[in-house]
């Protein structure tokens, strides 16, 4: 008793404020009365205003019972806190009463306990075989066999009992979730495991961070559209064919504060790459322009658009924090370098396939599918059992020629409309209205410097090389990059540069030209790819694909032939599979985009061309959305 008294004397009545409480009204009448007497005695003890004998006499509790109750209150609960007042509930179990024989058995033979846990949690060594999600009944059978292997005789526990300790094994397994919640949840599927792993400790702090300023934090993710698509292409013989392609990706960036979609990009490949991530970033920073819509009667809704076109302060706006998962394309060196050094933001990487870490972009994709693609006749639905999914979605896509161009139009209009649609999470205001109001209240947005807005810089990476050449052999100075030689008049006429280390600034979106600098930073101008490689714009990914085909012997590029045309013909000849058609459609889309962004901007515009351009603009003027914010109450 002396030892107990020393333990209690260190505590004060004020310490009881942090004890877990009990909702007394939920207790039956008799238990409630007993609980109140116990609680009154415990409180009186820690107030130290009366003697123990006086407290016991007043509350009708024996002295030994009081000390027992005090000890129970100071026991540790399974939740990690003290039992506190919960220990005073009549018939409340405080100490885990051991199933003496079973617990003793596991303490005596630790291998039995380890095998029980491993069998149920699928925790086996790498390369080992196991039954996935084994039932408790079969776990018990293995347990009995292990008992025999351990050397227990049939007249020893648990083999001498009728059920061979089945209930004890069941209770032990049920208790595993307290210590191995993630592993137990994994038995019920990948989604359950993902939720268990990425919620709980640490998640509440992440989730509680409030973001109010526009562009303070953005979320990025990719999503496969739930729709079957058709593509029209010509074979090498000139025959026109319509067939389906794999589902395509949409990549988007959303502003967490205002829910505005800042930009997006469609990827036609089977999987998106770092090039696609960079293109999405570029589209979110550069001012948006409405498309010339190919679908008859499809128009941009009134007041719709993107912030970079509607709100002047957001043009070339850059964010402070970029949230995305650690997918392979996202964590590539060039993407991280662009985010850190070009955009100048911090990176917040979360686990792959964890939508709860990026809730706003995931909700947007759900809205996009529900309001758009799930309503199209060739939708695949969000699951094979989705009632909106038809049996012949691919045939319908071909029948109605639902093409990539149509999807591009629909996506652009849907997102522009989304930005101008009242949002329940924004008190009924639209994302664009919230963006404008917060800017008007003085919340600033950083902008990309004017000298960094060149198309070339969005996709540029640094590469170190050495200038090669041979005066004796008559080989003028050049630089080799991805199997192709580059030079210009300045470099080719300076043999003193041979052997010098240089830094190449390579635009991975169009590697026909590279900018070269000496070690001291001096520029040597722009080098051009020698031969036919310098004609058509092509990306680093396409150059690598061509070189891979050439090295494997699948493609032969004759001397003087344009390698880009050869590659295009190769894709057309291999369009007999969905993946092949995806690659062909992606290549043609990218070529068209590059021609518009690079070649045309560098060519002089004739007066006749300007007149035609004016007439063309007037012709499509009806397609341009009326970009105007509706007036709302300031908040």
Which pLDDT tens digit goes with each residue over 491-529?
A: 999 999 999 999 999 999 999 999 999 998 899 999 999
Helix (H) or strand (E) holding 348: strand 346-350
In this prediction, residue 356 carries a pLDDT of 53
pLDDT tens for residues 439-474? 999 999 999 999 888 888 889 999 999 999 999 999
Map residue 245 onto helix, strand or coil. Answer: strand
Q: Quick one: pLDDT band at residue 121, thresholds 50, 70, 90? A: confident
Of 457, 461, 459, whose CA–CA distance to 504 is shortest? 461
Q: Output phi, psi for 23, to 5 deg.
A: -80, 95
Q: Classify residue 245 by burial, with Cβ atoms within 10 Å: 0-12, 13-18, 19+.
A: buried
Alpha carbon distances (Å) from 387 to 223, 378, 382, 415: 21, 13, 10, 25
Q: Quick one: pLDDT band at residue 605, thresholds 50, 70, 90? A: very low
Q: Could you tell me the two tokens for 340?
A: 């850190």
Pairwise CA distance, residues 309 & 419, whole Å: 12
- Check whether 140 has a pLDDT greater than 90: yes
- Quick one: residue 230, left, alpha or beta (phi over 0 = left, psi -120 to 50 = alpha)? beta
Q: Output phi, psi for 583, to 5 deg.
A: -65, -40
Of 530, 536, 535, 531, whose CA–CA distance to 560 is shortest? 531
pLDDT tens for residues 33-74? 999 999 999 999 998 889 999 999 999 999 999 989 998 898
Pairwise CA distance, residues 616 & 593, whole Å: 19
Average pLDDT over residues 567-595: 92
- Quick one: residue 217, left, alpha or beta (phi over 0 = left, psi -120 to 50 = alpha)? beta
DSSP state of 84: G
- Check whether 606 has a pLDDT greater than 50: no
pLDDT tens for residues 24-35? 999 999 999 999
Query: Is pTM, for the whole model, over 0.75?
Result: no
> How many other C-beta atoms can be found within 10 angstroms of the C-beta atom of residue 562?
14
Average pLDDT over residues 338-346: 91
pLDDT tens for residues 82-101? 899 999 999 988 876 555 78
The answer to whether the CB of 324 falls within 8 A of the CB of 220 is: yes
Alpha carbon distances (Å) from 365 to 250, 298, 361: 9, 21, 6
> How many other C-beta atoms can be found within 10 angstroms of the C-beta atom of residue 382?
15
Work out the percent of the chain whose per-residue pLDDT is above 70.
84
- 109-138 per-residue burial string, b: 16 or more CB within 10 A, e: under 16: beebeebbbebbbeeeeeeeeeeeebebee
Average pLDDT over residues 304-328: 92
Instruction: Tokens 């309503």: give the residue.
Output: 375
The answer to whether the CB of 229 falls within 8 A of the CB of 378 is: yes
Helices (H) and strands (E) in the chain, counts: 26, 16
- Structural domains for the chain: 2-88 (no CATH), 100-198 (no CATH), 213-451 (3.30.420.10), 455-602 (no CATH)
- Mean pLDDT rounded to a whole number for the chain: 85
Pairwise CA distance, residues 533 & 550, whole Å: 14
Of 369, 415, 366, whose CA–CA distance to 262 is shortest? 415
- Check whether 190 has a pLDDT greater than 90: no
Q: Quick one: pLDDT band at residue 325, thresholds 50, 70, 90? A: confident
Pairwise CA distance, residues 305 & 513, whole Å: 34
Work out whether strand 249-255 and strand 460-466 pair parallel, antiparallel, or are unpaired: unpaired
């Amino acid at each position: 008793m002396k030892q107990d008294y020393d333990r209690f004397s260190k505590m004060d009545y004020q310490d009881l404020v942090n004890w877990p409480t009990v909702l007394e009204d939920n207790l039956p009448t008799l238990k409630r009365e007993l609980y109140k007497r116990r609680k009154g005695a415990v409180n009186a003890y820690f107030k130290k205003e009366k003697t123990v004998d006086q407290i016991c006499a007043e509350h009708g509790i024996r002295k030994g019972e009081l000390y027992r109750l005090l000890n129970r209150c100071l026991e540790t609960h399974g939740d990690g806190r003290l039992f506190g007042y919960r220990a005073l509930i009549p018939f409340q179990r405080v100490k885990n009463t051991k199933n003496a024989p079973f617990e003793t058995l596991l303490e005596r033979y630790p291998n039995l306990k380890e095998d029980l846990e491993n069998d149920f949690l699928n925790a086996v060594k790498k390369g080992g075989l196991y039954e996935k999600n084994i039932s408790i009944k079969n776990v018990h059978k293995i347990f009995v066999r292990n008992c025999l292997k351990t050397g227990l005789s049939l007249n020893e526990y648990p083999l001498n009992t009728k059920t061979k300790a089945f209930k004890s094994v069941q209770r032990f397994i049920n208790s595993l979730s307290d210590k191995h919640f993630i592993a137990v949840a994994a038995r019920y599927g990948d989604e359950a495991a993902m939720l268990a792993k990425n919620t709980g400790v640490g998640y509440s702090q992440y989730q509680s961070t409030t973001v109010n300023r526009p562009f303070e934090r953005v979320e990025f993710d990719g999503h496969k559209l739930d729709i079957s698509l058709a593509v029209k292409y010509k074979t090498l013989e000139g025959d026109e064919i319509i067939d389906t392609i794999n589902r395509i990706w949409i990549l988007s960036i959303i502003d967490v504060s205002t829910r505005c979609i800042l930009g997006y990009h469609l990827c036609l490949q089977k999987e998106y790459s770092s090039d696609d991530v960079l293109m999405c970033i570029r589209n979110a920073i550069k001012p948006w322009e409405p498309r010339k819509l190919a679908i008859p009667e499809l128009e941009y809704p009134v007041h719709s658009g993107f912030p970079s076109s509607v709100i002047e302060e957001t043009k070339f706006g850059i964010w402070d924090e970029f949230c995305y998962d650690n997918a392979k394309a996202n964590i590539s060196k060039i993407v991280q370098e662009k985010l850190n050094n070009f955009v100048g933001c911090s990176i917040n990487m979360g686990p792959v396939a964890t939508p709860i870490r990026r809730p706003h972009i995931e909700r947007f994709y759900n809205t996009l599918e529900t309001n758009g693609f799930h309503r199209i006749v060739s939708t695949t639905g969000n699951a094979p059992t989705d009632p909106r999914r038809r049996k012949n979605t691919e045939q319908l896509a071909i029948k109605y020629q639902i093409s990539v161009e149509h999807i591009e139009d629909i996506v652009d209009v849907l997102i522009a409309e989304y930005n101008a649609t009242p949002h329940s999470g924004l008190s009924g205001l639209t994302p664009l209205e919230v963006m404008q109001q917060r800017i008007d209240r003085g919340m600033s947005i950083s902008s990309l410097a004017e000298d960094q807005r060149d198309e070339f810089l969005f996709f540029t990476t640094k590469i170190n090389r050495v200038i090669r050449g041979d005066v004796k052999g008559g080989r003028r100075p050049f630089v080799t990059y991805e199997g192709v030689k580059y030079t210009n008049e300045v470099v080719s006429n300076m043999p003193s540069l041979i052997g010098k280390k240089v830094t190449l600034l390579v635009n991975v979106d169009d590697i026909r030209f590279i900018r070269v600098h000496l070690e001291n930073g001096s520029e040597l101008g722009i080098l051009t790819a020698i031969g036919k490689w310098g004609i058509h714009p092509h990306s680093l990914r396409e150059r690598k694909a061509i070189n891979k085909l050439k090295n494997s012997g699948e493609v032969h590029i004759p001397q003087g032939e344009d390698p880009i045309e050869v590659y295009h013909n190769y894709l057309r000849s291999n369009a007999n599979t969905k993946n092949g058609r995806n690659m062909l459609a992606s290549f043609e889309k990218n070529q068209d985009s590059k021609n518009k962004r690079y070649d045309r901007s560098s060519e002089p515009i004739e007066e006749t061309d300007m007149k035609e351009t004016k007439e063309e603009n007037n012709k499509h003027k009806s397609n341009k959305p009326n970009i105007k914010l509706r007036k709302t109450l300031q908040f």
